[in-house]
Every structure is written in structure tokens, then in C-alpha cells.
Amino acid sequence: MCTIIVRHGIDDWCATIIASNRDEFYERPASGPRVLRGDPRVVGGRDEREGGTWFGLIPNGFFAGLTNQRSFGARDDTLLSRGGLVVDLLATGSLERAKRFLGGVDSRRYNDFNLIIGDGAQLCVAYGRREAAEIEIDALSAGVHVLCNDRLGSPEFPKADKARERVASISAAPWHELRGSLAEVLADRSLPDPAEVPHLPPDAPFDRDVARRLQAIYVETPVYGTVSSTIAAVSPGHVHQYLFTDSLPTAAGFEDVVGLTR
């Protein structure tokens, strides 16, 4: 149940800040940021099973983040890789070309997904669903947006409201202070009141206790949870910051990987 927080058009020193947690089964192999493709240089973490990424960017500040759409049924492993789609998007080289590219993608060839894409100047969300060939793309305004494993604003993810309120309340500050505040949000393991956990269908593969744990921003269960965190800051034409950790996010625990974009 990934969480991607985007703070757009708020801070004077950069246009857009992304803070995200990747949630996955612990047994699924992955590696940290690396160069995934050249010309343009696509940088991101690598899913070693499918070869794609859940978040990546290129040196001009164009970025893309992916969440799988929550489903209580089994995914179809015969379909194309959603992480591979993120790499292909970034390889287009710009947000405008990526939107045109998505216009030609048949979303029925993928398991359901949600994307947030931006370049500092613009920010968009995109939804791909098996029941429709066309990918839906919506422009987003300045502010804080939180994408979990459903549409923006979905009542199924109250943790998105919590994350949005916390990040919106962070005042403009120097980077070393801001990154610490964002890390604290990403590391939030607090659980909601049981009454706030959305109703589960009868065929759900987990019980309400697990459902409650999935509503933490930093998820921990015996077999599934937050496996890595990313904080990045971009403006049109530039990547200011790019930090990564595959342990509990703390201000001092992130690795600075912005050099990969140079």
C-alpha cells in the first residue's frame, strides 16, 4: 500500500518535493537507485523481479511515481509490467511527451495502476484500469497531494488525509530541516482508531487487524510492509535533491543519490 506525497508550488527554493514509501512483500527482491536507461538518463530503484521501477526521474526534473490499485483478487501475471511502464514514460524525456505516450497506451494490457507525474512546472495524476483502454489523466493544482493505492481523495485510505495534513502544516524551511520533517512523516507507524478502518469485503485476503496496520504511513506486518523510502526535490530543468533509504526513514538515514542524475 504505497504512499506518494507531493508538495507542489509551496516552497520558494524548489518547485516540487516528493516524499514516498514503497510497500511490498519483503521477499520480493529490489535494489536502490541506479541508472536504468540512458539518453535520457533514467534513474530509479529497480524491481529485480520485473525490471521496472516504482519511482524514477531524469536530470531535467521530470519524475514519475507508481502505486498499484488495491484489489482483493489475484493479479494477472501474464500482463505487462507496470514498473516497466514507468521506465518507458521517463524515457520519453518530458512530461508533455509522456502524456502523449500515455494517450497511446492500452491500459487493459496492465494490472490496474495509478501514476503521479510532474516536471516542476506541472503535476498530473493518471489512472489505468483493466475495464477501459484509455488512461485517464488529470492536471493537479498547487498544494499537497497524496496518492495511495486508489484515486486521490479515496475514502479507502484515511492515512492519505493524515499525511496530507502533516505535510501541508510544515512551514517553509532550509532543506536540512525540511528533509527531517518529511522523514518523520514517512516513518509514522501510528495506527488509526479501529473505527476509522474502511469496511472489508467478505473475500478480502486479510482481516481487519491487518487492514488497520496497512493504514499506517510506515507499514509493518509479518510478510509485507514499507521496504524503502524516497525524498526528492525538483524544479523545471533541475533535480535539487534525491535521497533514498531501505530502512526506517530518519533524517540521517537517507543516502544522497542525486549524483546519479548528473
Which uninterrupted H or E stretch holds 243?
strand 238-245
Could you tell me what percent of the chain has a pLDDT over 90? 92
| Plot region of 260 (φ>0 → left; ψ -120 to 50 → alpha; else → beta) | alpha
Question: In the chain, where are the structural domains located?
Answer: 3-261
Q: Is the pTM of this model over 0.85?
A: yes
52-64: pLDDT as tens digits: 999 999 999 999 9
- Residue 1's pLDDT is 64
DSSP state letters, 92-121: T-SHHHHHHHHHT--GGGB--EEEEEE-SS
Cell of 259: 549524483
Q: Which residue has the cell 479515496?
A: 154
Alpha helices by DSSP H, listed for the chain, are: 82-91, 95-103, 158-168, 175-186, 208-213
135-159: pLDDT as tens digits: 999 999 999 999 999 999 999 999 9
- Residue 173's pLDDT is 86
Which of 114, 70, 62 is closest to 92 using CA atoms? Answer: 62
d(CA 11, CA 136): 28
Show the low-confidence residues of the chain (pLDDT under 70): 1
Structural fold of domain 3-261: Penicillin V Acylase; Chain A (3.60.60)
